[in-house]
Amino acid sequence: MNVQSHRIVIIGGGPSAIAAALEATKYTHDIVMVSAEPVGGNAVLHSLVPSKALIEAAHHRQYLVRLGADPDTITLSQVMALQEKQIKTIVETTQKALNQVQTIFASAHLEKHHGEIHVVTDSQQHFVGETVIIANGSRQRLIPGLKPDGQSVLLPRAFHTLKSIPHSLAIIGAGATGLEAASLFAHFGTHVTLYTPLPQLLPQFSSPLRQVFTNHLEDLGIQMQFNRRIASLARNDEGIILEWNNPETGEKGQSVHHTIFLATGREGMWAADELIRLGFDVDPQGFFITDRVGQTNVPHVYAVGDAQGRPLLANKASWQGVQAVRHAFGHAASLPPLFVEAIYTIPELARFGTIDPDHLDIWEAKVDHPLMYKPFLVGHELGLLRVYTRNDRIEGAEAIGTQAADVISLLAMVNPQVTLPQLIQSSAASPTMLEWLQHLHRI
């Protein structure tokens, strides 16, 4: 057995792995990163970046519609070609930034030898580290019956492999990925049916904002199927059969669709029982149980990003990668910030902190203020911003609208330093969506 020892060994190539590797270069040059794919991971290569590239194309299609022009002058092949160039540029830029890191492109798993955790590639290279950082992301949770085939049963990876826009599409799951897919495909003209086991969308948002968004999806022609948990998939001459049940009533039924998109949540990259045998504490989905700096119960082994479980956010993943490395080199880790959750539908949704209308003061602003020009310039007149305070201190915020993620991110970043009245009295450039903040009023 040929075992290589290093100061830092990182498994993965996505945001948390890259952030950890870049942070580690501040302290050592003895870093190995083992990645099954080119750097960027699933986020850059298959899901996050490809989907946002398609969403950007949908915005341009909307602009053509507003001009009275034919939106189909933007072809899917053009969009996908540009998307490929964007991904290539990001990968090359990232690889250059990691020039001090030894990168091994191989699938890897964990083994234990003489009480020590080994990172083992498919070619049986063994790596041990003074610090091991598991940052290998998560995988799609599947539904029994049919395997994804890239044609009629799609995964989020389809954002990077689309050959044509489906005429109709059933999306199973209404989390961030499912909602983004529903919004995106509807704007490309697809007839979308959205299945969720819940009685409503967006339980993490307040009722007013949730209703605004639900009404918007209905205006797009999206058919919502609430209280529909998909138990299995099958195929017959008519198409794909979705066997569903109602979690509240127990009612059962079937639906038939030609093409389906699985947005059914994520699970750990390795089975829970495999990790338990190696001595790790994990949850039933195979996510590592860690402390606040990402340490697992196995000494010198950290798990960050999706490997640690929900919330599955790229911004959280990057932050955790940095904190794990800092802790491994003896530096005090920062307290976790209030992470922004952004959903890149059209228009965007975003939130952070505590959304509690019953126990906090509520401040609200719509986008139809006569001094707010940006929403009208970009053609998105739909919008609602709500901020929640205690003694004028910001506890949380949520928004739907143009650049909602940017506005909520600003609130999350400044909330420890300023009160909301102070922020309202400031002045943003015009026209920008940050002017939204100046029109908040207590309700």
**Same domain membership, residue 8 and residue 127:** yes
Claim to verify: residue 101 and residue 221 sit in the same structural domain: no
CA distance 12 to 329: 20
Beta strands, E only, 176-292: 191-195, 223-225, 229-236, 239-245, 252-257, 260-262, 266-268
Q: What SS3 state is found at 334?
A: coil
Dump strand ranges (E) for 12-81. 31-35
b/e for 315-346, b at 16 or more Cβ within 10 A? bbbbbbbbbbbbbbeeeebeeeebbbbbbbbb
Q: Looking at residue 162, what is its pLDDT?
A: 92
Classified as helix, coil or strand, 11 is strand
**CA proximity to 254, closest of 264, 267, 239, 266:** 239
How distant, in Å, are the alpha carbons of 18, 103, 110, 268, 335 from that of 125? 21, 13, 11, 23, 36
Residue ending a domain, choose from 209, 233, 264: 264
Domain boundary pick from 264, 296, 320 = 264
> Within a domain: residue 276?
yes
What is the pLDDT tens value at each position of the chain, 443 positions in all?
A: 889 999 999 999 999 999 999 999 999 999 999 999 999 999 999 999 999 999 999 999 999 999 999 998 899 999 999 999 999 999 999 999 999 999 999 999 999 999 999 999 999 999 999 999 999 999 999 999 999 999 999 999 999 999 999 999 999 999 999 999 999 999 999 999 999 999 999 999 999 999 999 999 999 999 999 999 999 999 999 999 999 999 999 999 999 999 999 999 999 999 999 999 999 999 999 999 999 999 999 999 999 999 999 889 999 999 999 999 999 999 988 888 899 999 999 999 999 999 999 999 999 999 988 889 998 888 777 899 999 999 999 999 999 999 999 999 999 999 888 999 999 999 999 999 999 999 999 99
256 and 274 in a single domain? The answer is no
Is residue 313 in some structural domain? Answer: yes
Residue 367: Cβ-neighbour burial (10 angstroms; 0-12, 13-18, 19+):
buried
Q: Which one, of 4, 27, 12, 30, lies nearest residue 325 by Cα? A: 27
The CATH number of residue 16's host domain is 3.50.50.60
Asked if residue 148 is part of any domain, the answer here is no
Residue 426 located in a structural domain: yes
In a domain, 291, yes or no: yes
* Beta-strand runs (E) in 196-291: 223-225, 229-236, 239-245, 252-257, 260-262, 266-268
Q: What angle do CA 29, 9, 42 make, to 5 degrees?
A: 110
User: Domain range spanning residue 288?
Assistant: 3-140+267-328
Same domain for 203 and 308, yes or no, is no
Q: How far does Cα 213 stand from its chain's mean position?
A: 19
| Pair 290, 377 in one domain | no
pLDDT of amino acid 378: 85
Tokens, residue 271 = 């089975």
DSSP helix/strand/coil, 248: coil
Same domain? 72 vs 108? yes
* Pairing of β 252-257 and β 239-245: antiparallel
Are 45 and 60 members of one domain?
yes
Tokens (6 digits) for 278: 């190696």
Asked if residue 413 is part of any domain, the answer here is yes
CB atoms inside a 10 Å sphere around CB 96 = 8
Domain shared by 129 and 275, yes or no: yes
- Residue finishing a domain among 328, 360, 375: 328
Does residue 305 sit in the same domain as residue 318?
Answer: yes
Classify residue 334: in a domain, yes or no.
no
Per-residue confidence (pLDDT) for residue 335, from 0 to 100: 83
Q: Are residues 54 and 103 in the same domain?
A: yes
Q: Are residues 204 and 135 in the same domain?
A: no
Q: What is the pLDDT of residue 214?
A: 97
Distance CA 408, CA 384 (A): 12
Nearest Cα to 283, choosing from 299, 300, 303? 303
**In this structure, are residues 31 and 19 in contact, taking their beta carbons and an 8 Å threshold?**
no
Residues 164 and 130 in one domain: no
Q: Domain for residue 200, yes or no?
A: yes
Which CATH number is 409's domain given? 3.30.390.30
Supply the pLDDT for residue 355.
96
- Give, for 298, the enclosing helix (H) or strand (E): none
Domain count, the chain: 3
